[in-house]
Structure 1
Amino acid sequence: MSRFHDLKFRAVTTLQRWVANPLSRRLPFQTLLETTGRKSGQPRRTPLGGSRVGDEFWIVSEYGEKSQYVRNIQANPRVRVRIKGRWHHGTAHLLPEDDARARLRSLPRMNSAAVRAVGTNLLTVRVDLED
């Protein structure tokens, strides 16, 4: 990773961790992804944008395998997703072969624009929903 991308990653993730995410998690209809912490075993909730298509929920991670929630998925793919205020259980799958930039065109516009603007290593994630 270049020095510029490393600085960008640190700045964005610090802002997300300490400002944006704590505020977003409190919004009742914010979409949340709940993973299990790979070290702590505790639930970790990440606000994000994505789209439900049938029994699948699609996400594009800005930083690929550097994202904490992606690292948690690698350790345990069982997740929950809160969509429109309702929790759904599912299994997450990392799809490095998927064209993440093309996928962003099918996801919510505002979130996709932010992911494209700050992301440095896009990775598609599909969650197969069970309920």
Structure 2
Amino acid sequence: MASRRDMKHAVVTGFQRRVGNPILGRLPIQTLLETTGRKSGQPRITPIGGRRTGDSFWFVSEFGTRSQYIRNIQADNRVRLRLHGHWHTGTAHLLPDDDPVARLRSLPRANSAAVRAVGTDLMTVRIDLD
């Protein structure tokens, strides 16, 4: 029998894939993360929320290593990030030792609340922009 955590993950990711991501990905103001598919080698785009600080962009993944884009980063950490309508290249760093709850307090409030509400395996990610 699936655990409550597994059920939550399945429901949230199913909604994100079928409804949320297709809508958010079309919004010109939405921040987008482009990774390279670890199996396909094709670009994979995921809407994310976070904040740029200097030459870095910080965000928290809801499902940590259970997220497909996190697995893609583990295979190839070169990414692209669309911020304010402009694409930037960068290198993503997974930070499992960072406190993701504390990190969310420094990021945009609405997105942070959503991540806390649906997330089960929070993980901080920093992208160093080129």
TM-score > 0.5 by shorter chain:
yes
Q: Look up the match of 2:48.
A: 48
Q: Look up the match of 1:103.
A: 103
Report the alpha carbon displacement of residue 56 of structure 1 after superposing the two structures with TM: 0.2
The number of residue pairs the alignment matches comes to 129
Q: Look up the match of 2:23.
A: 23
Report the alpha carbon displacement of residue 29 of structure 1 after superposing the two structures with TM: 1.2
Q: Which runs of 5+ in 2 are unaligned?
A: none
Determine the C-alpha separation between the residues in 2 that align with 1:68 and 1:106.
25
Q: Look up the match of 1:88.
A: 88
Query: What's the C-alpha RMSD, in Å, of the aligned pairs?
Result: 0.7
Determine the C-alpha separation between the residues in 1 that align with 2:108 and 2:48.
10
Q: Which runs of 5+ in 1 are unaligned?
A: none
Q: Provide, for residues 9-61 of structure 1, a one-character-per-residue CA deviation record: whole Å limited to 9, x for no partner.
A: 00000000000000110011100000000000000000010100000000100
Q: Provide, for residues 68-120 of structure 1, a one-character-per-residue CA deviation record: whole Å limited to 9, x for no partner.
A: 10000000000000011111100000000100000000111111000000101
TM-score using structure 2 length: 0.98
Structure 2 SS opposite 1:71: helix
Structure 2 SS opposite 1:27: coil
Report sequence identity in percent: 68
Where do 4+ consecutive residues of structure 1 move more than 4 Å? Answer: none
Determine the C-alpha separation between the residues in 2 that align with 1:8 and 1:92.
26
TM-score using structure 1 length: 0.97
